[in-house]
Amino acid sequence: MAVKKSRKQIYEGKAKVLYEGPEPGTIIQHFKDDATAFNGKKKQIIAGKGILNNRISEFIMSRLAEVGIRNHYIKTLNMREQLIKQVEIIPLEVVVRNYAAGSFTKRYGVPEGTQLGAALVEFFLKKDKLGDPLVTEECIQVLKICDHMEMQEMKNTALRVNDFLFGMFMGVGIRVIDFKLEFGRFDNGEFIDIILADEISPDSCRLWDSQTNRKLDKDRFRQDLGGVEDAYKEVAKRLGVFSSEGGPVDEIIKNELKIKKRRKSK
Ligand code: UDP
């Protein structure tokens, strides 16, 4: 589908842009190649990342819908864009951890890669200015971010997503260390439902090769490990995300990047 230039931009984030959708209640989610870390202090363009995240997220959201986990994904429009349901984003980052990594290792001094006894759900306040602080469930209610039922719903769904992702990735030789989810309130005509929103991609998950522990996620960028695009491609290849296109993933991405360059130079 051709990219319409006249459409109205609603929001620009660090890795995505949101445009008004063709129908009321819909939004176009555009995935950029920009990578940021440490609250925007570290920045880089990683050619092809947007294409990979768009398609990996589409793949995962579609599989989740098939097992009854309601989410905002409607359909893919082109290599970088998908149509999604408009929701009122709940300003929380819901993190599920199976192994210690990232902020958990720093906060509690647990070595990276330590298996946690059971999946752990944590909530962080989505507020860049405050550095997204960890919040307790009581605090979420005091701050009136959401009520107890909504919080339970998010927690239960996050654990269901974890069970699904853990099994799916295990099947392709990848260990799910942790991941971040966002939820939104969606008016389905009968009631306000809490559904999964945002994206699920190597930008928002920690994924390690089961055999070698090679990192296949954004930590390659955060920790200057190099090979970020190749790692994301590896995840896409193992999941079979581009199988409907036929042909190698590298060629598909290369061609798409050429098209973008041509469009820009016009
Ligand atoms: N995460 C994310 N966006 C954020 C913060 C974290 O997608 O703004 C993801 C991150 O990629 C990891 C998980 O959430 O998979 C847990 O991140 P953590 O709390 O360890 O924070 P980080 O080390 O990324 O600062």
Least confident of 4-13, 43-52, 70-79, 128-137: 4-13
Q: Is residue 42 part of a domain?
A: no
Range of the domain at 151: 88-222
Q: Which of 178, 205, 232 should be mutated for ligand 1, with most atoms under 8 A from CB?
A: 178
Count of domains observed in the chain: 1
Rounded average pLDDT over 211-218: 98
What SS3 state is found at 140?
helix
pLDDT band at 262 (very low <50, low <70, confident <90, very high): confident
The answer to whether residue 53 sits within a structural domain is no
Q: Are 49 and 201 contacting, i.e. CB atoms less than 8 angstroms apart?
A: no
Distance CA 191, CA 185 (A): 10
- Cα 217 from chain centroid (whole Å): 11
* pLDDT reported for residue 91: 98
Q: Are 110 and 104 in contact (CB under 8 A)?
A: yes
Phi, psi of 9 (to 5 degrees): -80, 135
Taking alpha carbons only, the member of 125, 126, 158, 156 closest to residue 139 is: 125
- Whether 101 is covered by a domain: the verdict is yes
Residue type, 40: G
Check which CATH number belongs to the domain holding 183 and give it.
3.30.470.20
What percent of the chain stands above pLDDT 70? Answer: 98
Phi-psi region of 124 (alpha: psi -120 to 50; beta: other; left: phi over 0): beta
Q: Would residue 208 count as lying in a domain?
A: yes
Q: Report, as an integer, the average pLDDT of 225-244.
A: 96
Query: pLDDT by residue (tens digit) across 75-132?
Result: 999 999 999 999 999 999 999 999 999 999 999 999 999 999 999 999 999 999 999 9
pTM for the predicted model, two decimal places? 0.96
Instruction: Report CA(99)–ligand 1 centroid distance (Å).
Output: 13
pLDDT of residue 6: 77
Atom of ligand 1 nearest to the CA of 205: 15
Kindly give the distance from the C-alpha atom of residue 206 to the centroid of ligand 1, in angstroms, as a whole number. 8
From 14, 39, 57, 204, mutation site for ligand 1 pocket: most ligand atoms within 8 A of C-beta? 204
Whether residue 99 lies inside any domain: the answer is yes
The pLDDT of residue 3: 53
Q: Which residues lie across from 37 on neighbouring strands? A: 42
Task: Give the C-alpha separation, 152 to 21, whole Å.
Answer: 31
Q: Which atom of ligand 1 is nearest to the CA of 217?
A: 11
238 found inside a domain = no
Domain-located, residue 41? no
Residue 20 CA, ligand 1 centroid: distance in Å? 28
Whether residue 252 lies inside any domain: the answer is: no
Pairing status of strand 88-89 against strand 92-99:
unpaired
pLDDT of residue 1: 53
CA distances in angstroms from 241 to 59, 218, 246, 248, 261, listed in the order given: 6, 18, 10, 11, 24
Q: What pLDDT, in 10s, does the model give residues 147-200?
A: 999 999 999 999 999 999 999 999 999 999 999 999 999 999 999 999 999 999
